[in-house]
């Protein structure tokens, strides 16, 4: 997300942060940034859930609330673009950024979409894991659909065969884009890679993620993708 010309310290000032949160693990808001990052990236299997104590300041004699946090990817924020938009614009978060195609730019970088043609499995445990992954994929797709619905952009992808890219669909009465949205991602299937990146790979070769990422960036990212109005240099 493109930041206005303010320092990070200003954005972390208690007067401009969510009104209910005062401190994490006894520290101030500024000192909490590393804790928030650690807690929100605690991916299951790779990292243990991260415990935090959240202190509220809008209640008398508030006691810390103990919570255990995992990676946001296992929630509806697998694609956090919509959540970031809400934090930037909803009154309760006190940032109060203005909406508008020339006022707000959200650039979302994906880590790759799985091939939707998953092979069925008879193993109950693996089936349960695949079901969770499907829920995460559906949540990410819903966020992407909503963001495309609120904007017009060159990176809009076909969501499905019915709504396609939502071309001509803009939410609201005015039919004016509410923001500029850019989404950069790839689908790890041989057909998608061939069609969009002209990259012929076998299923085994698709595992070469770094090569795919570099190729996708060279094809998808362009200087003109980011309007001059968002140039803060």
pLDDT digits (tens, 9 = 90+) for 61-98: 667 777 788 887 777 778 888 888 988 888 878 888 99
Q: Name 22's Cβ contacts closer than 8 Å, sequence gap at least 6.
A: 14, 29, 55, 56, 57, 62
Q: What are the two backbone dihedrals, phi and then psi, of residue 214, each rounded to the nearest 5 degrees?
A: -65, -40
Tokens of 147: 């963001």
pLDDT at 48 (0 to 100) = 85
pTM score: 0.64
- DSSP readout, 117-145? -PPP---HHHHHHHHHHHHHHHHHHHHHH
Work out the average pLDDT over 175-193.
88
Task: Tell me how far CA of residue 60 lies from CA of 55, 149, 190, in angstroms.
Answer: 11, 42, 58
pLDDT at 133 (0 to 100) = 67
Q: Tell me the pLDDT tens digit for each residue of 138-177.
A: 888 888 889 898 898 788 888 877 888 888 788 876 778 8
The answer on pLDDT for 210 being more than 60 is yes
């Amino acid at each position: 997300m493109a930041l206005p010309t303010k320092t990070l310290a200003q954005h972390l000032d208690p007067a401009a942060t969510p009104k209910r949160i005062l401190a994490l693990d006894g520290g101030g808001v500024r000192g909490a940034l590393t804790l928030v990052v650690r807690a929100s990236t605690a991916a299951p299997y790779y990292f243990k859930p991260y415990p935090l104590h959240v202190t509220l300041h809008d209640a008398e004699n508030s006691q810390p609330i103990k919570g255990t946090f995992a990676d946001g990817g296992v929630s509806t924020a697998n694609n956090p673009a919509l959540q970031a938009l809400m934090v930037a614009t909803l009154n309760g978060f006190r940032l109060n950024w203005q909406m508008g195609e020339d006022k707000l730019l959200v650039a979302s970088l994906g880590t790759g979409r799985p091939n939707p043609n998953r092979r069925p499995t008879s193993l109950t445990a693996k089936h349960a894991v695949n079901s969770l992954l499907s829920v995460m994929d559906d949540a990410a797709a819903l966020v992407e659909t909503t963001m495309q619905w609120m904007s017009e952009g060159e990176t809009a992808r076909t969501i499905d065969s019915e709504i396609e890219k939502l071309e001509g669909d803009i939410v609201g009465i005015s039919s004016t884009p509410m923001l500029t949205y850019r989404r950069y991602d790839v689908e790890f299937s041989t057909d998608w890679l061939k069609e969009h990146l002209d990259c012929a790979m076998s299923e085994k070769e698709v595992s070469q993620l770094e090569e795919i990422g570099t190729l996708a960036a060279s094809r998808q990212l362009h200087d003109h993708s980011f309007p001059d109005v968002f140039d803060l240099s």
